[in-house]
Amino acid sequence: MFERFTRQARQVVVQAQEETRNLGHPAVGSEHLLLAALSRRDDPATAALSRLGVTAGSCRAEVERLTDRGGSGLGPDDAESLRSLGIDPDEIRSRAEAAFGPGALD
């Protein structure tokens, strides 16, 4: 199913995998997808988030703070935080599992 993703979406997923490894996390999570998306300077979503004060640097610092660079992921309030930014974690999980199989983000 990965072939159904746009080129840009595939690049974000690959970058998210790299973010996951760099942070020492066991699996790709919404925080890694957000970091990867924010690294794309040509993306309108990145520009919109930047106008709201959400940058790759600020996001990375917060992820590292919350996960202590080796934790298992973000806490329970983070899904609501992502929703407040217009990001639907359930939709991300659904699409990732459709593409990569059940439990792909666990």
Whole-number Cα distances in Å, 76 to 24, 66, 81, 82: 20, 11, 10, 11
66 in any annotated domain: yes
Question: What per-residue confidence (pLDDT) applies to 2?
Answer: 73
Helices (H) and strands (E) in the chain, counts: 6, 0
What is the pTM assigned to this prediction? 0.60
Q: Flag whether 104 is in a domain.
A: no
The range of the structural domain enclosing residue 67 comes to 2-98
With pLDDT > 90 as the criterion, what percentage of the chain qualifies?
16
Tell me if 105 is assigned to some domain: no
Per-residue pLDDT tens digits for 14-23: 999 999 998 8
55 part of a folded domain: yes
Higher pLDDT, 2 or 12: 12
**36: in domain:** yes
Closest CA to 35 of 6, 64, 68: 64
pLDDT of residue 76: 62
pLDDT band at 90 (very low <50, low <70, confident <90, very high): confident
